[in-house]
């Protein structure tokens, strides 16, 4: 039975303000670990490392620094009021999340993936008073050792339908026969291709399975 992998941040939870707040805290952890105190470079360097290696902790380890997931998760996700991280409930965001969760009830084998710890998805759902369907599983890149490298995820996991808003992830997955990558973005023109497909609405996922 083919698995449908759905990205949480950017596909299910579409909230740029929350993403920016999380990104800022990730940058703070990176800068503190590396010792960057020049504001001119604080954001640009950490963002470049994230884009290159796929996760802040993995980037730090590749640079030779001691960094562990517990320290990272505590700084970014735990020592903060959920409302200051997730933000106030946004009606459009909640509507989109409900649409995705409703669609998941029509699919037999669904796995949500995220670079964040599992508690992040729980925090968002509690803020928005939503629950995942019972059969839906969650996997974090932290469960895979931060993918060891970002691109090894596609050989470490069983293939399936991959729904993501990241062109980098979609492009990499398209190189493997076991994966059917799908770009998601509101307002995109939907189409189904041999290598890559594109959808603009959660309901369109059902036709891909």
Residues 112-168: tens digit of each pLDDT: 999 889 999 999 999 999 999 999 999 887 776 654 444 566 666 778 899 999 887
Same domain (yes/no): 98, 63: no
Same domain (yes/no): 131, 101: yes
Query: Tell me, what's the pLDDT at 147?
Result: 47
Cα(154)–Cα(175) distance, integer angstroms: 9
Query: Tell me, what's the pLDDT at 174?
Result: 83
Query: Tell me, what's the pLDDT at 40?
Result: 57
Same domain (yes/no): 194, 134: yes
> Which of 61, 85, 109 is the last residue before a domain boundary?
85
Order of all β-strands in the sheet with 160-164: 137-140, 110-114, 3-7, 160-164, 179-184, 197-199
What's the total number of domains in the chain?
A: 2
CATH number at residue 110: 3.40.50.1000
> Which of 37, 54, 85 is the last residue before a domain boundary?
85
* Closest CA relative to residue 6, chosen from 156, 110, 145, 147: 110
Same domain (yes/no): 10, 26: no
Answer yes or no: is pLDDT of 169 > 70.
yes
> pTM to 2 decimals?
0.86
User: Can you say how many angstroms the Cα of residue 163 is from the centroid of all Cα atoms in its chain?
Assistant: 10
Same domain (yes/no): 75, 115: no
Same domain (yes/no): 30, 67: yes
* Closest CA relative to residue 86, chosen from 172, 94, 11: 94
Q: Are 165 and 199 in contact (CB under 8 A)?
A: no
Same domain (yes/no): 43, 98: no
* Closest CA relative to residue 110, chosen from 13, 206, 183, 10: 206
Same domain (yes/no): 45, 30: yes
Same domain (yes/no): 41, 54: yes
For 46, residues 6+ apart whose C-beta sits below 8 A from its C-beta are 26, 27, 30, 31, 36, 56
Same domain (yes/no): 121, 156: yes
> Which of 64, 85, 106 is the last residue before a domain boundary?
85
Cα(20)–Cα(124) distance, integer angstroms: 15
Same domain (yes/no): 8, 21: no
Residue tagged 């590396």 (tokens): 34
Same domain (yes/no): 61, 144: no
Task: Specify the length of the chain in residues.
Answer: 209
Question: What residues make up the domain containing 184?
Answer: 3-15+89-208
């Amino acid at each position: 039975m083919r698995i449908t992998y759905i990205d949480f941040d950017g596909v299910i939870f579409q909230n740029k303000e929350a993403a920016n707040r999380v990104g800022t805290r990730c940058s703070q952890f990176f800068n503190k670990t590396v010792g960057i105190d020049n504001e001119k470079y604080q954001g640009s360097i950490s963002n470049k490392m994230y884009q290159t290696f796929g996760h802040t902790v993995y980037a730090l380890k590749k640079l030779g620094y001691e960094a562990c997931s517990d320290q990272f998760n505590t700084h970014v996700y735990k020592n903060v009021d959920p409302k200051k991280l997730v933000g106030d409930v946004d009606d459009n965001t909640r509507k989109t999340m409900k649409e995705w969760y409703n669609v998941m009830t029509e699919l037999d084998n669904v796995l949500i993936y995220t670079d964040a710890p599992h508690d992040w998805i729980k925090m968002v759902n509690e803020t928005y008073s939503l629950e995942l369907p019972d059969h839906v599983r969650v996997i974090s890149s932290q469960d895979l050792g931060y993918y060891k490298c970002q691109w090894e995820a596609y050989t470490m996991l069983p293939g399936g339908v991959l729904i993501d808003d990241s062109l980098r992830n979609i492009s990499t997955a398209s190189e493997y026969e076991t994966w059917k990558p799908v770009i998601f973005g509101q307002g995109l023109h939907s189409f189904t291709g041999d290598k890559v497909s594109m959808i603009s609405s959660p309901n369109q996922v059902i036709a891909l399975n």
